[in-house]
Amino acid sequence: MEANQVSVQIDSSSGDELFYSIKQKIHPMPSIECCIYRIPKCLRILPEEAYVPKIVSLGPFHKGRDSLLAMEEHKRWYLHALLSRASVPDQCLRHFLTYIRESEGQARASYAEAVNLYSDEFVEMILLDACFAIELFYNYGRVELRNDNDPIYITSWMLSSLKHDLILLENQLPFFVLVDLFDMIRDPDKGDLHLEEYVRYFFRDVLPPTGYSTHRYNGTHINHLLDFLHVQFFPDCGLTLLESEAGGQHIECATELNNAGMKFEATHFGQSLLDISLNKDGVFQMPLIYFDETVSYLMGNLIALEQCDSRYAPLVSSYVVLLDSLIASPKDVRLLRREAIIDSFFRDDEELVLIIKQLSKGLTVSRFLFAELYRQVNCYYHTDWNRWKANLRRDYIHTMKRDYFRTPWAFISFIAATVLLFLTLTQTIFTIIS
């Protein structure tokens, strides 16, 4: 045998093991029905707690985590409570299982990763998780039906933790399963609403304050709970997204724009948080938004959803890029809060600035929603006449404060002089008329 040749003996049994090992590891690419993703590290722009559930797992990605096992017993309680409302609980359970088995393929296809669970394990997981979510929404909306011993409502922290967990992209269930299971037991004669109404009510303190999007959505048009919130926050009402890189455009911060004569004004009757405009008088109009930890984490997950799935228009991403442009320092936050455009529940304005900078860090938006708005803002900002008017008005106000409003006596003298001038003018007019 030549020196550069190596003899390799293949054990047929080990070859078979390798064959089956590889066969178990390979699987086709995600289907077009895929809509629930594990967020890659490059998109985890907020602290890790913004993407990981605190107390409950929904779906396969976080199933079995030690910190979430305590809620498994609660899921069984809620399944029992839900079935007990059915006229024949055992029959209802069989119908649920039959439906989930028939929908198993579509449900599995909703996840971007292969779900390594046997069929029975997968069906049981969907049954427990879906019925837990349904009963949670239902109990929250139907207070009279709650169990007085339910820890979710007698503790001060569980409900807020659940709201956090249900907005996470990695912690989602196919929405069609929730809707179909609920419709199987919904009783309109007893006042039961559609599931979407209970979901909207559950998240009412997270949604925009004016409740922009209130019409009912067919469950087949919603992928999961996070998608539902995406539609509620940012409904696509015929918006035009231009093929324009957000990174290639720039506008000044809110304070600089205000110094150039631009006024900021809150709007209250728009259809969406995206109803943002600049009118011909230089009034920049934006709807009010509340910012707290939950909303910031929701924004982070919505951005991840848009970045993971190109079928989503980059509405949230465009909105965050705009906020990043307008807010460069705490001074900008104070200006927007004074005009009732932003309300923050963070400890200070610097923390909100930091959150917005984190949300926009490394954000790529190829179809920027506000390209035309940026053009209009820059046109107004760079018009000398607008800046001259703003400077004149600012100088006039400064002079008035310095010369007439510096002391109470100066203010009284100014008022007296104004009244005297008015009386003199009135007397002159009457003299001319007579």
What is 144-171 written as a DSSP string? GGS-TT-HHHHSSSHHHHHHHHHT-TTS
Comparing 76-90, 266-280, 309-323, the range with the smallest average pLDDT is 266-280
Give the model's confidence band at 220: pLDDT under 50 very low, under 70 low, under 90 confident, else very high. Answer: very low
Mean pLDDT for the chain?
Answer: 87
Three-class secondary structure of residue 425 per DSSP: helix
Three-class secondary structure of residue 342 per DSSP: strand
The residue type at 77: W
Bridge pairing between strands 367-368 and 242-243: antiparallel
Q: What is the mean pLDDT of residues 303-319?
A: 94
DSSP conformation class of 367: E
Beta partners for 433? Answer: none
DSSP conformation class of 244: B
Token pair 């938006």 in the structure block, residue: 365
Structure tokens at 113: 């990763």
What is the rounded distance in angstroms from the CA atom of residue 117 to the CA atom of residue 63?
11
Q: What is the pLDDT of residue 358?
A: 96
Q: What is the mean pLDDT of residues 124-135?
A: 99
Token pair 């299982």 in the structure block, residue: 97
Q: What is the pLDDT of residue 210?
A: 54
Q: What is the pLDDT of residue 14?
A: 62
Decide: 167 and 301 in contact? Cβ < 8 Å.
Answer: yes
Q: What is the mean pLDDT of residues 341-366?
A: 92
Q: Is the dihedral of CA 48, 53, 55, 60 positive or negative?
A: negative
What is the rounded distance in angstroms from the CA atom of residue 332 to the CA atom of residue 352?
11
DSSP conformation class of 369: T
Decide: 309 and 32 in contact? Cβ < 8 Å.
Answer: no
Phi, psi of 267 (to 5 degrees): -105, 150
Residues 6+ apart with CB under 8 A from 55: 67, 68, 70, 71, 158, 161, 162, 165
Give the model's confidence band at 238: pLDDT under 50 very low, under 70 low, under 90 confident, else very high. Answer: low
Q: What is the pLDDT of residue 284?
A: 97
Structure tokens at 383: 């018009």
What is the rounded distance in angstroms from the CA atom of residue 329 to the CA atom of residue 396?
27
- 25-34, 88-97, 208-217, 361-370 — most confident range: 88-97
Neighbours of 85 (CB within 10 A): 16
pLDDT over 70 at 162, yes or no: yes
Decide: 196 and 217 in contact? Cβ < 8 Å.
Answer: yes
Q: What is the mean pLDDT of residues 315-333?
A: 97
CA atoms within 13 A on the CB side of 143: 3
Three-class secondary structure of residue 264 per DSSP: strand
Give the model's confidence band at 268: pLDDT under 50 very low, under 70 low, under 90 confident, else very high. Answer: confident
The residue type at 394: R
pLDDT over 90 at 123, yes or no: yes
- Locate all alpha helices (DSSP H) within 241-370, ordered by sequence: 254-259, 293-308, 315-326, 330-338, 349-360
Decide: 288 and 268 in contact? Cβ < 8 Å.
Answer: yes
pLDDT over 60 at 298, yes or no: yes
Comparing 90-94, 288-292, 406-410, the range with the smallest average pLDDT is 406-410
What is the rounded distance in angstroms from the CA atom of residue 356 to the CA atom of residue 392?
34
Decide: 247 and 368 in contact? Cβ < 8 Å.
Answer: no
Q: Is the dihedral of CA 96, 98, 101, 106 positive or negative?
A: negative
pLDDT over 60 at 143, yes or no: yes
Three-class secondary structure of residue 255 per DSSP: helix
* Percent above pLDDT 70 for the chain: 81
Name which of 422, 303, 418 is nearest 363 in CA terms.
303
Neighbours of 330 (CB within 10 A): 14
Comparing 193-207, 318-332, 391-405, the range with the smallest average pLDDT is 391-405
pLDDT over 80 at 409, yes or no: no
Structure tokens at 241: 């997204």
Comparing 77-86, 259-268, 316-325, 404-413, the range with the smallest average pLDDT is 404-413
pTM recorded for the entire structure:
0.83
Bridge pairing between strands 289-291 and 342-344: parallel
Three-class secondary structure of residue 110 per DSSP: coil
Structure tokens at 60: 């396969």
Name which of 213, 327, 166, 340 is nearest 267 in CA terms.
340
* Percent above pLDDT 90 for the chain: 66
Decide: 138 and 198 in contact? Cβ < 8 Å.
Answer: yes
